[in-house]
Each structure stands twice: as structure tokens, then as C-alpha cells.
Amino acid sequence: MNTLKTIELGAIFNSIPNPIFIKDENLQFVFVNKAYEKMFNTKMKYILGKTVLDLEYLAEEHRIFYQNEDMELMRSGKTKHHVFDYLYKEKEMHTCLYWSSGFVQKDGDRGLIGVIVDINKQSKKIHALRKRMRIIDSEKKEIAKKNKIDALTRLYTRGTFDEALQKLASSSGGFSCILLDVDHFKRVNDTFGHAAGDAVLRAFAAIVQKCSRKRDMACRYGGEEFVVLLPGSKLDVAIMAAERIRRGVLKHVHTPDGKRVTTSAGCSEYIPGESAAFAVQRADKALYMAKQSGRNRICVV
């Protein structure tokens, strides 16, 4: 049996707290350190000359996996790593980082070395942190729901808008409204993914909020559509506000590759006697006209 010159480093490897093993070109064990013996409750003399397929303290599917991977690494000399759960001698499962690498000595002899690092404590902390983050996220969404704020954009929700719309319609002050749409938003999601799409919506919403007056109500109407309710305002005020938003979006909102995002808008003014919903429908019709006529523009109905 080829014992490999690397075994002369045994004293050094025994001083390392992480389990280490070395195999020869036949994938037979020629060395394991003290940490390996302790981890698997075995002795080096019992596994020398054996392959991983002979190790009964490992699950059969793991033995087959390691053997096949070791053969590949022996040929390629590459390094691979995995995260596995091992049953320690105290019958407790430990999450470990396992890595192994093929090597070639100066005399041409091939071998394989592997190291196992116990990351059980770190893994538990990560799982606990992720669980806590999920709880916090759930709490934030619940708070947002109670406060009638859209969790993504931090604008008012559609339900809040509908309530405010009915109150304005019953008052004598009148109102105007703006419906806005992020141009080609589906293309952003399809090209860059939903995380990038969400970032665009947040940036868009920030511009809508910034360009609205304190008494105006900026809402996420649904998907990539937004609406601004302007109490006591005429149509010309809505048009000017929509133009501020259009310019702000064009200047400050970009896709991940640096391209500018544009918006189309439709404006309408409530006519006494009509339903509040019909005023919004007219703004929606104007928005459709803006998109059909080339986008990045404002139309009025």
C-alpha cells in the first residue's frame, strides 16, 4: 500500500482541531488525524487501507456520493466543498462544512486530502437569525396593514384611496386625480428579476411622494400603477403635478443597467354630479391614451 510522503506531516495534522483525512490514488485511507478519530469515535488503524465505501458509520448514500466525487477530484485535482449533517459519537447531529481536493506529488503519486469543519453553532445562529427576520418581516407587514400603508412603496394602499375618494365626493370641495403607470415595467421584471422591479417601484414611489403636496394623497393603485388624489384642486394643478412627477422619474429612476425609466399619466377633474369612481375612470382612460400615443407623456380626459 502506498502510504504517501504527506503522512510525515501527521504530527502537524494532529495538532489541528478539525478532522483531516488523506487517501492514496486508490482512494484508500492512509491517514486520519486525532480530531477525525474523535469525531467518528474510531481509530486510524481500523480504517487504514479502506475506502469510504467500507465506513459503516456513514450513511450509505453519503458513502456512494463521496466515492464518486473522490474519483472525479483525483482525476481533476480540483477542490469541492459541501455542507452535510453528521451524527457525532454523542448521537447528536452536527452541521459541518466538508471540503476535499485531489493533489499530485513531485514523484507523480496522486492523492486526496479532506477537512471537516464543525459549523453547528454558526448554523444554529443563522437559522435563529433567519427565523427572527421572518418574524420581524411579518410584524412589519401587519403594522403596515393596520396603518393602511403599502409595505413595498410606503405609499397609501388602494383601500385607503377608495375611502378618501368617497369622502371627497360627498364634500363640496371637489378634487382632481392623477393615474400613473411605470412604462414597460414587465420588461424590467423579465430582464432583471422581481428584486430589481421592486427597487424601481420604490424609487418611483419616492418621486411621486416628493412631487405631491402635503394635503395630496399618493397611493399605490395596484401593481405598477399609482394614483394621486388632489383635494380641492382644479385640473391644471393636477397636470402640473403630473409633469413634475414625469420629469422626476425620467431624471432619477433607472433600471439596473442605467437606462432611464419613464411614466405615463392620465389626469381628470371631478365634475359635480358624477360619481367619484367615474372621475377616476376618466383618468384611467387618459392614462390609456398616454400609453397608446407613445408613453412618457400626460393626457387629459
SS3 content of the chain, % helix, strand, coil (to 5): 45, 25, 30
3-state secondary structure 6-24: HHHHHHHHHCCCCCEEEEE
Q: Of the listed 139, 163, 224, 243, which one is catalytic?
A: 224
Q: Nearest CA to 245 among 222, 226, 270, 268?
A: 226
What's the one-letter identity of residue 232?
G
Catalytic (active site) residue 224: yes
Cell of 234: 382644479
110-118 and 93-104: which strand pairing? antiparallel
Q: Nearest CA to 162 among 112, 209, 219, 90?
A: 219
Say how far residue 289 (Cα) sits from the centre of its chain.
36
Q: Where in the sequence numbering do the catalytic residues fall? A: 224
